[in-house]
Structure 1
Amino acid sequence: MASTVGARLLLPAWLRRFSSASAILNPADSAAPLTGKQKSRAAISLLKSEKDPARIVDICHAAALTPDSHLDRIAFSLAVSSLAASASFSFIRSLLDGLLASRPDLQNQRFRAHAIVLFGQAGMLDDAIRVFKDSRDPPTVRSLNALLFACVLAKKHDEVGRIFLEFPREHGISPDLDTYNTVIKAFCESGSSRSVYSILDEMGRKGIQPNMTSYSTLLAGFYREQRFDDVGKVLDIMKRNGCIPGIGTYNVRIQSLCKLRRPAEARALLEGMLERRMKPNAVTYYHLIYGFCKEGDLEEAKRLFREMGRKGCVPGSSCYFTLIYYLCQGGDFETALGVCRESMDKNWIPCFSIMKALVKGLMSSSKVDEAREIMEKVKGRFSSNSEMWKEVEESLAQTS
């Protein structure tokens, strides 16, 4: 036994780290080597269910996460969300500060900016500001933008104004378009959309041209505050600046009207698009379908679903799931079944609560065979969830 331990200690450091990482990320076969992408996917899978704070930190270290990878950014976000949900703030601080201090490949502005955003996601704005100021190198506009976004994530909109006014001057940073767009977002989310007019004036003085993101965020803010006259003013400003509203602008307006429970007006915008020979996309139709479903107008929602197919717009999984849910709520189980089959053919399976509502609805409509077919398909795809169907299976057995 002692010789085995001694032999392990004599292993090269990189091999010990490899063995430890594999044991954490792939305990079923810890000897199997994992590629970087496999490590990332394993980490994401584990982080979705892991609740132990120390274990979450170990998983992140084992996967050697980096913000250069999209999968790793997802893993970081999952880890921080889980730790914040359990108020394990010291573990978040230990994880991010430790990576900044111990990983030479992460001692750069990119990861520093990412760490600032993650602290904001956790609501730890003091730590985000600390990381911004503690950099060995002078903070950059990238770090400033990350800090402003951290404020937005932390819902500290007042801090956005203070940091925007003070930090560029104190640290010799020139704000760029992303800086202004984040400030616009903060004002609009906090119900102060009209304050953005002064931001647009400043951008003009600095020679920074607003883009579609700037205007779309402002339009959504004015719709949220139901300042419809200001919506018109923004559209006029866009025209004066040669910024022609595209599909993205229309989608923001349609979504905003649907959120205000005004889907008929949103539908009129779609008609206007078609008259201008603009082609709507799947997002356009999703917002409209959701809007009419929320208002209980399932016939219009179904008509739009059919129309989007004729227009060559392919529904996404969210569109299928939303329509199935509301069709079940409205008692139209036959249509819901057809939409569900189409969704499942694309390997998009709604969540258990939606599927359970559909199966029970089919049973109540004397469509027992169809209910059993759907349930068996779901159980076949997700055998680990088969226990959840016991109550429904018992009801089916009584109906048969």
Structure 2
Amino acid sequence: MLSLRTIRRLCAAADAVALAAIAAGLSRPKFKSHFVASSGSSAPPPSDPAPTDQAGSEPDQDQRPVFSEPALVRLKKERDPEELFRIFQANAQNRLVVENRFAFEDTVARLAGARRGDLIEQLLDQQMALPQGRREGFATRIITLYGKAGMPAHARRAFDEMPGRRTVLSFNATLRVLCRSRDLSSVQSFLVSARSNLGIRLDEISYNTLIKGLCEAGSLESAYSLMADMEREKLKPDVVTYTTLMAAAYKRGRREVGDGLWNLMVLRGCLPNAAAFNARIQHLVSRNRAWQARGLMKKMTAVGVRPDQLTFNLVIKGLCRAGEMEMAKRTFLAMRDAGCEPSMKIYQTMVHYLCLAEQFELAFRLCRDSMSRGWFPSVASVRSLLGGLSSISKEDCAEEIVRLVRARASPCAAGEPEALQSAASPDGKR
């Protein structure tokens, strides 16, 4: 009987032989043998290999493996609408493409930019006919994409022809698309059809969508009556409802209606959010009440609502228009303390009004900061700044602005940098 030591040595030897065989198989060149035996016959002997110009020359270029780029990469690179459509169509059942929301929306947006509604229709109809089109969530995406492409009639048809179950989810998506088209007759017919044939009951989102559509179409009275309909349907108007109605009232100069809606919202215990405050602040700024707008922004923080970029931009613009540049600068500097980064519009506002106030050095610093972020003020503002810097003998600062304009993409037209260069020169002083 073999001892345990002998068995271990035999196993080790067998492992070594197996590894050697595997290594020999991996190192053997992969080509078909000319001596493979077939049934009843043998292959002819191989002919002499063709002579090569150099020993060890590389294989022919055509024999190298060709790897195609992933579909998402090809979609991103493609600029021709026809080829873009073909790539997406060929990957209609590729989940990496179809379930990628950005790739889907970007493809439709670029086809819409090329005014190829025919390709969009073919692409989205193909998707609706595939198994994923039976999911209501996916069908809702198709309806939304038709809306973004400016094809509301196709969105309505996609809803009517949905193969799966239709609920208030897909109904709201279709309603939103139709309301954006501002065709109230199509909205009315869709409402009647969906409620009578499908038994769909409107929810808060449905009513808010309808109210917004009516406000944008100028039918304020109809929008107000819808809020009363909500309450009759045991639905409570929310902050979106009040904000939409308030903004529309203020925009059309009906201050008493807007103020009444604000008071009603607060009395009913519906706390305003940043959008509601912004609607009221915008109204105050439009009536040249910048200090009241700033006071309302301070109240936002007191009640726990964080001012956003739009809030700061409205207040800063109102203060600048009122000639309160010092307070505008203090508000601008307080943005970062409030955890809010300045936006391109805020930089544009500050540079424009600082130039009007002839505070060119601060305008230069803000303009340089804005350009370093890739945000270029308007050509008129840059020209005014360059002229002002030249007038106070700050040609080096003016040259730096011109270098930034030349070095990075900006909305300047062809030849504009040369015109700005002349404005920055001493001869171009105002």
CA RMSD between the two structures: 4.1
Letter of the 1:353 partner, please give it: V
CA–CA distance in structure 2, aligned partners of residues 343 and 262 of structure 1? 28
Relative to structure 1, is the Cα distance of residues 99 and 258 closer, same or farther in structure 2, using a 3 angstrom cutoff? farther
Give the structure 2 partner of residue 100 of structure 1: 128
Q: TM-score, normalised by structure 1?
A: 0.73
Alignment correspondent of 1:230 = 257
Give 1:324 deviation, angstroms. Answer: 2.5
Q: What is the match of residue 349 of structure 1?
A: 375
**Separation (CA, whole Å) in 1 of partners of 2:121 and 2:97:** 17
Choose the corresponding residue for 1:217, options 244, 253, 264: 244
Select the residue among 269, 285, 288 that pairs with 2:296: 269
Instruction: Tell me the alpha carbon deviations over residues 109-162 of structure 1, each in whole angstroms, 9 at most, x when there is no partner.
Output: 223222222323333221111111011113221111111111233232443344
Output the CA distance in 2 between the equivalents of 1:278 and 1:379.
42
Kept in 2: contact 1:336–1:358 (CA 8 A): no
Q: Report if the CA contact (8 A) 2:111-2:120 is conserved.
A: yes
2:411 and 2:211 mapped to 1: Cα distance? Answer: 46
Q: Where does residue 82 of structure 1 map in the other structure?
A: 113
Quickly say closer, same or farther: Cα 1:188–1:338, change in 2 above 3 A.
Answer: same
Residues 350 and 363 in structure 2, CA contact (< 8 A), matched pair in contact too = yes
Aligned-residue offset at 1:280: 3.7
Matches within 5 A, 1:1-400: 18=69, 22=73, 24-25=74-75, 42=76, 53-55=81-83, 57=85, 71-72=102-103, 75-76=106-107, 78-79=109-110, 81-83=112-114, 86=115, 88-101=116-129, 104-105=131-132, 107-258=134-285, 263=290, 265-270=292-297, 272-273=299-300, 280-293=307-320, 301-309=328-336, 311=338, 313-328=340-355, 332-344=359-371, 347-350=373-376, 353=379, 356-357=382-383, 360-362=386-388, 364-365=390-391, 366-382=393-409, 390-392=417-419, 395=422, 399=426
Q: Please report how far the alpha carbon of residue 374 of structure 1 lies from its aligned counterpart in structure 2 after TM superposition.
A: 2.5
Q: Once the two structures are superposed, what CA deviation does each residue of 1:283-342 show, in whole Å capped at 9, x if it has no partner?
A: 321222234456776555434323445555432333223333444466543332121233
What is the percentage of aligned positions where both structures have the same residue? 30
Distance 1:263 1:358, change over 3 A: same
After superposition, what is the alpha-carbon deviation per residue over 1:191-230, rounded to whole angstroms, capped at 9, x for unaligned? 2223233222222232222221121111111111222222
Q: Is the 8 A contact 1:113 1:146 kept in 2?
A: yes
Q: Structure 2: 5+ residue runs without aligned partners?
A: 1-59
CA apart distance, 1:388: 5.6
The alignment partner of 1:173 has SS state of: coil
Are residues 71 and 166 of structure 1, via their aligned partners in 2, closer, same or farther at CA, if it must alter by over 3 Å?
A: same
Return closer, same or farther for 1:173/1:68 CA change in 2, 3 Å cut-off.
Answer: farther
Q: Secondary structure at the match of 2:270?
A: coil
| 2:197 alignment partner, SS class | helix
Structure 1 unmatched ranges of 5 or more: 26-41
Give me the TM-score of the superposition, normalised by structure 2.
0.69
CA distance in 2, matches of 1:289, 1:383: 24
Aligned length: 364
> Deviations for 1:152-200, whole angstroms, at most 9, x for unmatched residues?
3323244334423442222221222211110111112122223233222
* Cα distance between partner residues in 2 of 1:136 and 1:298: 61
Instruction: Please tell me whether Structure 1 or Structure 2 has the larger radius of gyration of its CA atoms.
Output: 2
Deviates more, 1:168-177 or 1:370-379: 370-379
Contact 1:333/1:358 (8 A) holds in 2? no
Distance of 2:133 and 2:358 partners within structure 1: 54
State the AA in 2 paired with 1:57.
F
Aligned residues of 2:358 and 2:388 also touching (Cα < 8 A): no
Distance 2:285 2:410 in 1: 38
State how far apart, in whole Å, the 2-side matches of 1:384 and 1:275 are.
40
SS in 2 for 1:90: helix
Report the residue type matching 2:256 in the other structure. D
Q: Normalized per residue, which structure has more helix?
A: 1
Residues in 2 aligned to 1:58 and 1:368: alpha-carbon distance in whole angstroms: 55
Q: Give the partner amino acid of 2:110.
A: A
The 1:368–1:60 alpha-carbon spacing in structure 2 relative to 1, beyond 3 Å, is farther
